[in-house]
Structure 1
Amino acid sequence: MAMNNQPRTEFNQALKAIASERGLDASVIIDAIKQAIIAAFRRDAKENGIEYSEETVFDAEINSLDGGAKILIDGKDVTPPGFGRIAAQTAKQVIHQKIREAEMGVIMDEFTGKVGMLVSGIVLRFDGANVRVDMGRTEGVMPAEERVPSERLSQGQRLTFLLKDIRETIKGREIILSRADAQFVVKLFAREVPEIGANSVDIKLISREAGVRTKIAVHSAQSGVDPVGSCVGQKGVRVQAVTNELGGERVDVIPYNEDPTELIKLALAPADNLKVKVSKKTLEATVIAPEDQLSLAIGKDGQNVRLASKLTGYKIEILGAPAEVTEDTPQS
């Protein structure tokens, strides 16, 4: 409906005001009004014992001057006397519903373009283990599995989230947020490290145990760029900013290496002087660690070797050996 060509009547002005205020197309509101009027007519007819078949084609006409409505069946005006008064309340309710749905559609379309990006929100309330988050024009949900287990949240707390997905539910589309996903850490580094945004540094691999520790392997194809130094920052300021956002979660930054033997050594840091033998066929690796490096290589409760295994894609077995064993054996 081309509103610009219509007379400046009270109805037109009200319609344009609603469209402008809600950020909607005026035609969306007109369609909502027509659907509401048809729905009200069918209900009124049913209450008076008149049933229409599903094949019946209804249409509604809206007078652009005063907002008056007519119901048409096969082009014939069948509007009953007093219909406007009888159906007004029903039409009003459906109009509000359609406008809310249209608004939500606009909002969801906006957030669809932000999937995989960082967003800010305020903890609104808790639905069991799920967290409802106020995102301004709408709400998001952080399911229990997307929460950091050790993180204590409070109502009114402002946080950064990864907008992980928009899922279809029985209640409509729902924004899924996460702070436990490994990509959350990747996006935090992208925010803190300009070299990542400039594509001169790339996070090649990541493994994470949310709330405890993360390992990332970084690479740069650009000459003169130190990928680890770029991510750590001067005096550790960049990696510390990420750690602070993660609530103190430790982040290990290592250089990426295409050689699995070297990559496994790097992934097992801070352990040093390791002897590594890998099988590329079975994706298994045996690591011989000096006695004084064994506990470092394994980590508390096996955490270091577990994260290294996730990072490299190899099943890693660590064995102890005398401290003087330092040489590599050939790959199988």
Structure 2
Amino acid sequence: MAITSANQLELLQTAEAVAREKMIDPDLVIQAMEDSLARAAKSRYGADMDIRVAIDRKTGRASFTRVRTVVEDDAVENYHAQLTVKQAKDYLKDPQIGDEITDEVPPVDLGRIAAQSAKQVILQKVREAERDRQYDEFRDRKGTIINGAVKREEYGNVIVDIGRGEGILRRNEKIGREAYRIGDRIRCYIKDVRREVRGPQVFLSRTDPQFMAELFKMEVPEIYDGIIEIKAVARDPGSRAKIAVISYDNSIDPVGACVGMRGSRVQAVVNELQGEKIDIIPWNQDHATFLVNALQPAQVSKVVFDEDGGKIEVVVPDEQLSLAIGRRGQNVRLASQLTALDIDILTEAEESQRRQAEFAARTALFMETLDVDEMMAQLLVAEGFTNLEEVAYVEQDELLSIDGFDEGTAEELQARARDYLEEQAKKALEAARAMGVEESLIEFEGLTPQMLEALGKDGIRTLEDFATCADWELAGGWTTENGQRKKDEGILEKFDMSLEEAQTLVMTARVMLGWVDPTAAMPAEEEEAGESETSDDEEEAGA
């Protein structure tokens, strides 16, 4: 098949038809034709030649050219596609390295095999262009809801026809009791779009929390307009869900707007989710208030928040315990997901028992270490003293404010507390030295003898050992494994060391050892302060 004037326009018509059918750019089809014709020409003139084909976008005329590139004398590897500067002077007046010399060659007569090969190249290029178009289209729609029709089911996964492609709704992304038949209309959330060998894969979901958020956005105009914002969503798909909302307009109630007139708006979402019960909760910046709202319908008596551990303790009346926990822990689990906090629920009776146990333990501590009677120890605990350090180094006025305490009693108590602490520190230091803790670490500022003893027990005995520690190894922290928060115990955590304090100590040790440049270890605030002082000095000098 020669490319003659009779079928030149037919090339353009074919490209237009294919582009229209596959919904891609016609120029991509023409480029595929050019590549296929160039490959066929190479098989005719020689694979070593650089043959290029250009199809005129108006007339359809295909021009075949041979291209040779000018290279250095010792860089010639392919004499059919390259030539030296000296050889190029026969074609160009002043040839330079990188110049290209083109010669038009006669059009090829495509045989049956060459025509079939050209067809395969065109089909492959068109298929790639179609995949790219599908990927770009669905990538831009990631995080939105799409309507489709059930096409087939494979091993529990549902293949959904979504118009210009297919999406896959995996078994674990379906709401438990849903069953689909071929042809059923289905609404899904586009969770992810990936490039794969067999083409773009669109992964759908009906269990993702954001699916519910998008459904509310469709049903509640105030959410779509940005007047109301969905701050958090937690779901137990097909059973129950909690959604936290906030209004940026004081005249609009966020919960009422999401519920709608006679529950019409929330009911539309419930129907789409197969009867999933939805608790709509007002979001609050205060963690405790937000948690009280999140645990509804249970009533909360008291909330104790542990900021360092990211945990929160909730005290509820005894008769409210089962309601707060929910069936199989569902209510507290959803509240925990919604607030991103670990929640411990206690009854008032359990909390009272714990308080009594703590009171008794602290009373016993003061009786033993300060050699006082039970009444005096209880007075100290009742006034909020929790450890010997507080008694030893608190302002004396705070002790004098306790009924029955005079100046002599306060001085004696503080003297006993300090003597006991010094004795304990001496014993801890001796134990640390006995374990091999070196003087370089003992003399390091910021570590108490008890801390040195704890480090020695953990095998940290030199300043170099200490400098290799991570801050969380010293102060402890939290990690998440399989969606569950796990506590990492720190070596010095029992001494109430924070992550910031641990980081400062470790960095100081590294600077002392010369591992870190002191200027690089300077905190950002200090650098900014230093810069401002320098600029002030410069201004004064200029003045």
* TM-score w.r.t. length of structure 1: 0.83
1:183 aligned onto 2:210? yes
Measure how far apart 1:88 and its partner are.
Answer: 1.5
Q: What count of residue pairs does the alignment treat as equivalent?
A: 310
**Residue from 47, 55, 58 that aligns with 2:51:** 58
Distance 1:210 1:71 in 2: 63
Aligned to 1:329: none
Kept after mapping to 2: 8 A contact 1:273/1:289 = yes
8 Å CA contact 2:65–2:104 kept in 1: the answer is yes
Report the AA paired with residue 53 of structure 2: A
Residue 264 (structure 2) pairs with residue 237 (structure 1): yes
Structure 1 residues 273 and 86: alpha-carbon distance in aligned structure 2, compared to 1, 3 A threshold:
closer
TM-aligned CA deviation for residue 40 of structure 1: 4.0
Question: Following TM superposition, by how much is the alpha carbon of 1:36 offset from its aligned partner in structure 2, in angstroms?
Answer: 1.9
Determine if contact 2:175/2:237 at 8 Å carries over to the other structure.
yes
Greater relative contact order structure (CA < 8 Å, 6+ sep): 1
CA contact (8 A) 2:53 2:62 kept: no
Match of 1:23 in 2: 23
1:222–1:235 CA distance, 2 compared to 1 (3 A): same
Partner of 2:121: 94
Q: Which moved more, 1:187-196 or 1:308-317?
A: 308-317
Distance change (3 Å), C-alpha of 1:221 and 1:68: closer
Match for 1:313: what amino acid? A
CA deviation after TM superposition for structure 1 residue 60, in Å = 1.9
**1:181-330, aligned counterparts within 5 Å?**
181-321=208-348
Residue aligning to 1:128: 155
Residue identity opposite 2:33 in structure 1: I
Work out whether residues 70 and 77 of structure 1, in 8 Å CA contact, stay in contact via their aligned partners in 2.
yes
Secondary structure at the residue paired with 1:83?
Answer: coil
Which one has a bigger Cα radius of gyration? Answer: 2
Q: CA deviation at 1:9?
A: 4.0
Q: Which blocks of at least 5 consecutive residues in structure 2 are unaligned?
A: 1-7, 69-101, 353-543
Paired residues for 1:28-107 under 5 Å: 28-41=28-41, 44=43, 52=47, 56-62=49-55, 65=59, 70=64, 72=66, 74=68, 75-76=102-103, 82-107=109-134
Percent identity at matched positions?
41
Which residue number in structure 1 is paired with residue 196 of structure 2? 169
Q: In structure 2, do the counterparts of structure 1 residues 76 and 204 end up closer, same or farther at CA, with 3 Å as the change threshold?
A: same
CA offsets, 1:263-318, max 9 Å, x none? 11111111124322222222212222223211110000001001111111221111
Distance in 2, Cα, partners of 1:52 & 1:239 = 67
**Measured at CA, do residues 21 and 125 of structure 1 come closer, stay the same or move farther in structure 2, by a change above 3 Å?**
closer
Q: Residue in 1 aligned with 2:138?
A: 111
- 1:69·1:84 contact (CA, 8 Å) conserved in 2? no
The 1:194–1:268 alpha-carbon spacing in structure 2 relative to 1, beyond 3 Å, is same
Q: Letter of the aligned partner of 2:132 in structure 1? A: G
Q: Is the 8 A contact 2:134 2:200 kept in 1?
A: no
Q: Matches of 1:57 and 1:11 in 2, distance apart? A: 23
Does 2:132 align with 1:139? Answer: no
Query: In 1, are the aligned partners of 2:174 and 2:205 still within 8 Å (CA)?
Result: yes
Give structure 1 stretches of 5+ with no counterpart: 1-7, 326-332
Secondary structure of 2:135 counterpart: helix
Return the alpha-carbon distance in structure 2 between the equivalents of residues 232 and 100 of structure 1.
47
Contact 1:265 1:274 in 2 (8 A): no
- Taking the aligned partners of 1:223 and 1:92, their CA distance within structure 2 comes to 66
